[in-house]
Chains A and B, each alone.
Chain A
Amino acid sequence: MSNRIDVKKTYKLFINGVFPRTESGRTYEVKSAKGSFIANPCLASRKDLKDAVVAARAAHHGWNKATAYNKGQILYRLAEMLEGRRAQFVDEIIAVTGATKAKAEKEVSESVDRLVWYAGWSDKISSLSGALNPVAGPYYNFTIPESMGVVAAIAPETPSLLGLIDVIAPIIVSGNTLVVLASSKAPLSAMSFAEVIATSDVPAGVINILTGMKDEIAPWMASHMDIDGFDITGLATKKHAEIRASGAENLKRIFAFKSHDPARILAFMEAKTVWHPIGL
């Protein structure tokens, strides 16, 4: 055993491509499965959410405009970076959840593979869910799915990494930008994933990650008028009604998901139909 003292990491938020502390100055304690101290991640506030939404809104235009090929490559790049740092993620999952090494490795592998799966959807979703509509008149008429704008999400508590990937990937692959609240009990995967994001080619503001308490942040997300969609997969079912009612103020599109499939991408896309005359 070495006598060397570890250099411990301060876990911060990830907003607009940088790692700020919460403006509230609040933190909470994350303990290991065995009860020992691991970290004091930020307890994000309403204002942190606001800042993240501003960053996400500003990033939307550019990310939405990026080609599908480009977005696919960037998601694939995330997978590459995650693969390269898999040991760190395995260790963190084990430390926080007490999972076996095999189980933790399985989750990281599935997370990498899931990113690759969604990356491949970037340039296929439009052709599969779009349409050329044979209208009764001299018009060219087509329907294409487009990103919705800024989407908020509550990541599930467990699995803390795979659950996060399942929230992030389908939302951003279509061109949305995202503010996601990480697993409260196990935020380490999310904050380390922010480092993966920061070192890949994802433009600043496309993915913003908060840590904190669902019951505090989810209602602010629901009522925020500049959030277009809300993935509440990670929120307890008994809270859904209140969140949906609050989200009605700007008719937010609110969904919770049971599986990973293309419907999850389409849920946060809007179909746009275009008409143009056909003539000389």
Chain B
Amino acid sequence: MSFYGLVDGTDTSLKNYLGSLSGVDQVGADARAAMLATRSIKTTSKRWAIDMAISMVDLTTLEGADTVGKVQALCTKAVRPDPTDLTVPSVGAVCVYNDMVATARKHLDLVGGQHVGVAAVSTAFPSGRASMPVKLRDTRDALDAGASEIDMVIDRGAFLSGHYIDVFNEIVAIKELCGTRAHLKVIFETGELVTYDNVRKASFLAMAAGADFIKTSTGKIAPAATAPVVLVMLEAVRDFYSMTQQRIGVKPAGGIRNTKDAIKQLVLVNETAGPEWLTPSLFRIGASALLNDLLMQRMKMDTGYYASPAYVTID
């Protein structure tokens, strides 16, 4: 087996590959991310950036209390975020637990959202603590129900105990299952990996194993998609591209609640991975509350007045 010619599937080759990565200096990465956060963008670009951010949102509901009604409402909003303004683009995907995939797919199709994907969180989300047959079954369930994107979690326990090959093999197996049916996003739960060195290592591990996207977090653990973590992951996809000519996507999820945060993310993308990544096929933002703030900012740009939450729909 060869994975981009980087790893041959053995523990040794994986360890050599991960061992060749340079470290990340936390203070330096924090400083770079903070500096980029001071960039302000042009008004015309800001309007574009808001629409781009909307189209990158994976509109998410991942609650024990999710119901068919809640998911249907979410899907309607995903297709037409602002029913009064049809120039607002649809979001990138809705993101649900896999028992809601069929409901979401059906409702999206019903409201004209054939172009909006359904992402299912998988492999015993959010903890990843289940046996491999269960994880495979979990994923197959989601695929069969119509998921076009699989957001799997890695086994952080295996990662932290140094069993990288186990993490690698899980990703390989899930990727194989996804085949051409679904894109694979690999969630690290960076809040549990803690160090940027680990984030970088996990990024390169997941990319070599076949991830289409690397994703920061489940949204269940803080800290989640902090700017420096996203910076480190964007550096990883940039470097992976120069090694393999393959562009891997990045999805920050958790903690991005307003337009300012979202635009800072786009600045990070532009400055780090480059403008080629400024597309929903290579950058997604996992969020729920963010969408309404983006809509309010959009209204403000159109009218010149600060908007009120009364004019945007609640989920």
Contacts and interface: CB of A to CB of B under 8 A. Distances in A.
Is any CB of A less than 8 Å from a CB of B in the complex? yes
B160 interface: no
Nearest to A276: B27
A278 interface: yes
Contacts of B195: 280
A277 B196 CA distance: 14
A84 interface: no
Nearest to A279: B26
B28 A280 contact: no
Nearest to B28: A277
Interface string A77-109: 000000000000000000000000000000000
Q: What is the size category of the interface that chain B forms with chain A? A: under 10
A279 B228 CA distance: 13
Contacts of A280: 26, 194-197
A139 interface: yes
Nearest to A280: B195
B302 interface: no
Interface string A120-145: 00000000000000000011000000
A228 B253 CA distance: 59
Do most interface residues of chain B lie in helix, strand or loop, or is the interface mixed? helix
B25 interface: yes
Contacts of A277: 25-28
Contacts of A279: 25-27, 30
Counting chain A residues whose Cβ lies within 8 A of the other chain, the interface size class is: under 10
Interface string B1-40: 0000000000000000000000001111010000000000
A147 B154 CA distance: 54
A278 B196 CA distance: 14
Contacts of B25: 277, 279
A71 B197 CA distance: 42
A20 to B, nearest CB: 53
Contacts of A138: 27, 30
Contacts of B30: 138, 279
A158 B120 CA distance: 92
A214 to B, nearest CB: 53
A139 B196 CA distance: 18
A139 B25 CA distance: 12
Which residue among A138, A277, A278, A280 has the maximum number of chain B CB atoms within 10 Å of its CB?
A: A280
A275 to B, nearest CB: 10
B188 to A, nearest CB: 16
Interface in A236-280: 277-280
Interface in B188-232: 194-197
A253 B40 CA distance: 50
A135 to B, nearest CB: 12
A277 B228 CA distance: 16
Nearest to A139: B27
B154 to A, nearest CB: 19
A256 B28 CA distance: 45
A197 to B, nearest CB: 47
A152 B30 CA distance: 48
A279 B23 CA distance: 12
A173 B16 CA distance: 48
A279 B195 CA distance: 9
A260 B197 CA distance: 53
A87 to B, nearest CB: 63
A278 B26 CA distance: 8
Contacts of B28: 277
A280 B197 CA distance: 8
B309 to A, nearest CB: 38
A138 B194 CA distance: 18
Nearest to A277: B27
A244 B12 CA distance: 65
B136 to A, nearest CB: 34
Task: Pick from B26, B194, B196, B197 the residue with the most CB of A within 10 Å.
Answer: B26
A277 B30 CA distance: 11
B191 to A, nearest CB: 13
Contacts of A139: 27
A137 to B, nearest CB: 8
Contacts of B27: 138-139, 277-279
Given A277-B26, A280-B195, 11 more contacts: A138-B27, A139-B27, A277-B25, A277-B27, A277-B28, A278-B27, A279-B25, A279-B26, A279-B30, A280-B26, A280-B194
17 contacts: A138-B27, A138-B30, A139-B27, A277-B25, A277-B26, A277-B27, A277-B28, A278-B27, A279-B25, A279-B26, A279-B27, A279-B30, A280-B26, A280-B194, A280-B195, A280-B196, A280-B197
Interface of B: 25-28, 30, 194-197
The 10 closest A-B pairs by CB, nearest first: A279-B26, A277-B27, A279-B27, A280-B195, A138-B27, A280-B26, A277-B25, A279-B25, A280-B194, A277-B28
